Structure 1
Amino acid sequence: MSESSRRWIVLAATLLVMALTARLGVWQLSRATQKEALQASVDSRRALPPLAAADLARDATAAADQRHRRIGVSGRWLPQHTIYLENRQRQARPGFEVLTPLELAPGDVVLVQRGWAPRDLHDRTRVPTVATPAGVIAIEARIAPAPARLYSFASDERGPLRQNLDLDAFARETGLALRPLSLQQLDAAADGLSRDWPAPAVDVHRHYGYAFQWFALCALVAALYVWFQLIRPRRRR
């Protein structure tokens, strides 16, 4: 291969790598812009006045539009269907997220994320005792999607102690007419649960960090080409 051909191949490879890394950097910036728009949407919904209980969504599309809105509802707890999601951490402490269905009216139920409780360090299967008042109660809450899923080898979990909970599967299992959303309880209650709910993870800064890495790699490739293909040969001559 001639020296001229080799130089053209090196130039083509350099331009290809630079184009690829620059494109990846631009893509990360676009992802950051999308996440910033999502964060702005979350903040604006949280700032809206509380939603009326009668307006709580009954279908998945409307439920997505109501996420992060505050709402006040009343109903009866169904403690026999309480679920404890394990391996949920708060401040590096292992624990459970406690979920209990709330019957708003006969045949109308919503799943409530009631709060977090620490795990028994000596017996991981021991669930906390949570006070659940009988009769009609009123709670203040925030509309939220179902709890985040963790990796699990079990595809069909049963019983009160679980790793994940799928709303549709839980509705079929219990026969409850669940709405396609859940509520995160906000008001104080004498049940011993923590309601310090983590903010939605938007991770904007992570995308900016990735973009910087790709642009830095693009600049490094360009600098290496200039040094080895232009400056160094001239210095040798």
Structure 2
Amino acid sequence: MSTPAPMSAPTARDAERLPPLRFGFLATGPWILGFVLCILFAFLCHALAQWQWDRRVEVQHRVNRVLENYDDDPVPFAEASRLFTAFQTEDEWTPVTLTGEYLVDETLIVRNRPRAGQPGYEVLVPFRTDEGPVVVVDRGWLPVGNSPGQPDAVPAPPAGHAEVVVRVKPGEPALDRDAPDGQVPSIDLAEIADTVGGPVAGTAYGIMVTEDPAVESMPQKLVEPTLDEGPHLSYAIQWYLFAAMGFGVWGYSAWMRARNDRADALDDAADDGLLSAHRVPRAKPARRRRDGRLTDEEAEDALFD
């Protein structure tokens, strides 16, 4: 008995004759549910991407304000008093020249102002302008001293009449925290006005740039604003990529399922063909003569068997 020839690998022509992939299973419950989950996941990714995009736009506005205002020539307070009494967002970082005198006895320390990971304070000194209004001036940063809860020393501002260049910053929200005498938890201008006991420009304060006359000992200058937009744009793009990946995984899984179903169908067809090709022929009934004796051919076959 001859052995069947081994099956050869499918050629390109054989591949052209493969039946098309069938995707009827996509109409079943599990696959519909999977697609719905992909849609919900895409909506979630879009919301997170939009959140990152909005944060990027907000940072861009802050960066643009720095670029537009930070290095401008100082404006006299007489022409820019509105910046401190009716502050608007686009006014931030505008340089203003103040003339008048520091109210040294009203000096305040702002608590919990870290810098480069080091805890410290900021020094606030009210400044009475020649025009009358009092503006809070942030003179700079001091590290934590040897005694807990206070710096070692607070450098005094110039005495008497002075000219100070500041950059405008909006006041900070109030914090529900207690602070020792002479200290405040944030640059809340309303609270500072109550502490000082007099009228203070209520919407913005100034970060000191220069003083004239200069003094020998001064607090450290505050860190300049950053122009870095941060990673918000890349995060937004990543969320959209995640949404596309969800549909990609679902589509790839469907393609693999259809491909495997076709391979299983071809294997089943091949198995059916082999069984029919190797089916054992049935033995023919022996034909006998009318007198019951075997024919010559049957007798010969019986001898060989």
Fold shared per TM-score above 0.5: yes
For normalisation by structure 1, the TM-score amounts to 0.83
Matched, 1:108 2:130: no
- Supply the distance in 2 between the matched residues of 1:212 and 1:123 (Cα, whole angstroms): 49
Q: Which amino acid aligns with 1:76?
A: E
CA contact (8 A) 1:107 1:176 kept: no
Residue 101 of structure 2 is aligned to residue 76 of structure 1 = yes
- 1:51 maps to 2:75: yes
- Asked whether 1:182 is paired with 2:216, we answer no
Residue in 1 aligned with 2:49?
25
CA contact (8 A) 2:102 2:125 kept: yes
Q: CA deviation at 1:220?
A: 2.4
Percent identical residues? 22
Counterpart pick for 2:187 among 165, 171, 194: 165
- Is 2:70–2:94's contact at 8 Å kept on the other side of the alignment? yes
What whole-Å deviation, never above 9, does each CA across 1:13-42 have from its counterpart, x for those lacking one?
212221331343244234423432332232
Residues paired across the two proteins, number: 230
SS in 1 for 2:112: strand
AA matched with 2:45: T
SS at match of 2:110: strand
Name 2:119's counterpart in structure 1.
94
For 1:102, what is the secondary structure of its paired residue? strand
How far off is 1:97 after superposition? 0.6
What does 1:118-133 correspond to in 2, within 5 Å?
118-120=143-145, 122-127=146-151, 128-133=153-158
Q: Which structure has greater strand proportion?
A: 1
Q: Tell me the amino acid that sits aligned with residue 113 of structure 1.
A: D
Aligned-pair CA distance for 1:203 = 6.1
* Alignment of 1:35 onto 2:59: yes
Q: 1:191 aligns with which of 197, 217, 232?
A: 217
Which of 221, 227, 233 pairs up with 2:246?
221
- The 1:104–1:222 alpha-carbon spacing in structure 2 relative to 1, beyond 3 Å, is same
Aligned-partner residue type, residue 163 of structure 1: P
Could you tell me which runs of 5 or more consecutive residues in structure 1 were left unpaired when the two chains were aligned: none
- The alpha-carbon deviation at position 145 of structure 1 amounts to 1.9
Could you tell me whether the CA contact under 8 Å between 1:115 and 1:194 is conserved in 2? yes
**8 Å contact from structure 2 (residues 121, 142) kept in 1:** yes
